[in-house]
Amino acid sequence: MNDPDALPVAVIGAGPVGLAAAVQLIQRGLPVKVYEAGVGIGTNLKDWGHVRVFTPWRYCVDQASRKRLEESGWTMPKPEAFPTADELIARYL
């Protein structure tokens, strides 16, 4: 869908889930606008940056996002490792 008059889809939140949703929409040819209440991406995660998340990398990284990032030279961290919130922001978002 590439309708030049289409309004953008509003994605609320620039954390891992919001940004993954934005990539999914972009892949489908939809215009996207991401809204974040904080000062930047992953603001909520930054409050807990030192804490290790409960999910390994393989579940933290959306497949569409991974593909797009790998096209620009990004490398996936070890899939079974559990990142801290700071690592998730620095290495993925």
- Whole-model pTM: value is 0.87
In this prediction, residues 17-42 reach a mean pLDDT of 96
Instruction: Give the other-Cβ count within 10 Å of 72's Cβ.
Output: 6
Residue 28 has pLDDT above 70, yes or no: yes
Rounded CA separation 52/91 (Å):
14
Q: Are 32 and 9 in contact (CB under 8 A)?
A: yes
The angle, 0 to 180 degrees and rounded to 10, between the axes of the packed helices 63-70 and 16-27 is 70
Structure tokens at 48: 């807990």
Residue 4 has pLDDT above 80, yes or no: no
pLDDT tens, residue by residue, 59-75: 999 999 999 999 999 99
Output the pLDDT for position 51: 97
Output the pLDDT for position 57: 98
Give buried/exposed letters for 13-23 (b at 16+ CB in 10 A, else e).
Answer: bbbbebbbbbb
In this prediction, residues 1-21 reach a mean pLDDT of 89
Residue 37 has pLDDT above 70, yes or no: yes
